[in-house]
Chain A
Amino acid sequence: MRGRGTGLKIYGTLIFVFLYFPMVIVLLFSFSPTRTIVGLSGLTLKWYQELFQDPRLLIAFWHTVMVGLCAVAIATVFGTAGAFFVTRVEFPGKGVFRALVMLPFLLPGIIMGVTLLIFFRNLNVHLSMFTILMGHVSFTTPLVMFQVSSRLSRMGPTYRWAAMDLGANPVQTFWHVTLPMIRTALIGAGLLAFTVSFDEIVISYFLTGTWMTLPVYIYGMMRFGLSPKVYAISTIILILSLVLITFMARYTGRSADTYRVRKRDAG
């Protein structure tokens, strides 16, 4: 079954080129003194310097970090609580409940944007950091919940039972047994949630007033054509997300073999 498959490998390579060529283009353009790629004459860091001279961009960057961190913190609390609920409590209609919780992540972002915008306007909440933050909490919570609940169900209840049998109370069991076992899942989920929150624009675009996050600010810049500055900030974002993904893969232990058939734990 391990044929040579040369044709397949060529096709696969082409797809990889398709996947990574656009990223390379952005990278190259950010260092190019002229705005074209053909006749690339030398490299420059001019556009990166200009980024640091744009106070509004720096503020937007800071806003994005702040929203991301707050969203991760809130989503971790709600998502983890939700994960404990769906793995440990049995009730009819649990499948439907899980599906409902996943909706903000699965639905097109525009639907979350529209419904939250209408909701906040009806309650007379002004568009601000708060509205953007709530938008981000809406789709990061299912993300955390999914990661943590898959770890919990993989663990099974036996460790917890053992701890209880040895006389640990529920708090001790959580603190000394369950928490250390889900720690890496929590860190991975947090990184993932931050990465997703950092780029989010589809929902944020609906919920943004004058308080802007970085993607919304860049989107505004794009209205006047793609300036080299856009490429420079894109490259920074690109590198930042690569770093975050690498860490995330480490913590969640995600690799090619993750999905191999494995015996399912009880519980």
Chain B
Amino acid sequence: MKRRISKPGEFIKGVPIAVWLLALVAIPLIFTFIMSFYSSSGLVIDRTLTLKNYKLFFTDPLYARILFKTIRLAVAISMLSIAAAFPLAYMVSFKVRRGRNLLFMLCIIPLWVSYLVRIIAWRTILGNRGVINSALMALGLIKEPLTFFLYNQFAIAITLTYICIPFVFIPVYTALEKIPRNLLDAANDLGANELRTFYNVILPLGLPGLVTGFIFSFIIALGDYIIPLQLGGTQGIMFGNLVWSQFGFAFNWPLGAALGFILFIIAVAILGLTSKFGSTEGGFLGE
């Protein structure tokens, strides 16, 4: 790879995207960072700089507890998404020939289906008078609706897993497709059975895609606040809800800015890991 620097005149092409980057990403972030050092008293924002918000985050155990709970749930969701998406990607990539395109499309269509509609669907399925309960009652298995489906971490996990599956599928599928097929023949010729080929060839070569998928779904689960609001109930308060509520009823924008900035740092650190260990091409946006 040769590295050269283009002529200064060429850089004029970068003006529009640089303006966009400054106006909608960089400057808003800087404003947020500055605001995180303000404090709020009642409805007015006190503009004297203070470390109060960060101190609160590091001393009040509430914040650490909810952050930890959120991370734990996000890890669980990523594992579940991998458990669902990896075999699917393996199947579409290696095991089917006829109808491959259709299966592939079926795997990625949910990616672009409305987020809100999917939330509505899961509320319908898990609700007290929802699909599962009605079905169980109609079958005579239960008399009263079961209440443990909705308004807890289980409901959040199932809905977010549902949303994350295509985000894991695509990088994993991309990685599996890049495995040269003659490697499998070679493994076969050398006497490896299917299981052995899977562990010694497919899994190591598919790992970058797996890491990317894990991190995508982790990030999605980490920052979501709408699904916990809709399906989480009181025991499902996540870090995103803490951030959100500072701009809603709690009305403490400086604290919200600090919590948002902390979330930003965590997300960027994790995304940084992807570029190090994951596949460089996420693939899910590309052609």
Contact = CB atoms under 8 A, between A and B. Distances in A.
B49 interface: no
Interface in B207-257: 219-220, 222-226, 230, 240, 243-244, 247, 253, 256-257
B287 A150 contact: yes
Given A115-B31, A245-B109, A238 B117 contact: yes
A18 interface: yes
A117 B253 CA distance: 10
Interface in B112-155: 112-118, 120-125, 127, 129, 131, 134-135, 137-138
B241 to A, nearest CB: 10
Nearest to A188: B287
A89 B287 contact: no
B125 A25 contact: yes
Interface residues of B, number: 102
Contacts of A134: 24
Given A111-B260, A116-B28, A259-B173, A192 B112 contact: yes
B138 A38 contact: yes
A159 interface: no
Given A110-B240, A185-B287, A259-B177, A234 B120 contact: yes
B121 A26 contact: yes
B25 interface: yes
B267 A107 contact: yes
A146 interface: yes
Contacts of A105: 285
A205 B116 contact: no
Residue with the greatest number of chain A CB neighbours at <10 A, chosen from B14, B114, B244: B114
Given A36-B129, A261-B178, A111 B16 contact: no
Contact of A89 (B14, B27, B138): B14
Contacts of A103: 25, 268
Contact of A255 (B14, B101, B110, B180): B101
A77 interface: yes
Contacts of B55: none
Main secondary structure of the interface of A (DSSP, over half): helix
A178 interface: no
B287 A242 contact: no
B80 to A, nearest CB: 11
A259 to B, nearest CB: 4
A118 B17 contact: no
Interface string A79-100: 1011011101111100100011
Contacts of B94: 1-2
A244 B108 CA distance: 13
A104 B17 contact: no
B271 A106 contact: yes
Contacts of A1: 94, 181, 184-185, 188, 194, 197
B37 interface: no
Interface string A195-238: 11011111001100000000100110010001000110010011
B71 interface: no
B116 A18 contact: no
A11 interface: yes
A32 to B, nearest CB: 11
28 contacts: A1-B184, A12-B88, A19-B107, A22-B121, A22-B122, A37-B131, A107-B223, A107-B271, A108-B219, A110-B240, A110-B243, A110-B244, A110-B263, A111-B260, A114-B260, A118-B28, A118-B35, A119-B28, A141-B24, A143-B285, A146-B285, A215-B116, A226-B127, A234-B120, A241-B113, A241-B114, A242-B113, A261-B178
Interface of B: 3-6, 10-11, 13-17, 19-21, 24-29, 31-32, 35, 84-85, 87-88, 90-92, 94-95, 97, 100-101, 103-110, 112-118, 120-125, 127, 129, 131, 134-135, 137-138, 162, 165, 173-174, 177-178, 180-181, 184-185, 188, 194, 197, 219-220, 222-226, 230, 240, 243-244, 247, 253, 256-257, 260, 263-264, 267-268, 271, 275, 283, 285-287
Nearest 9 CB-CB pairings of A with B? A108-B223, A82-B17, A22-B121, A256-B104, A119-B28, A115-B28, A114-B260, A259-B177, A81-B16
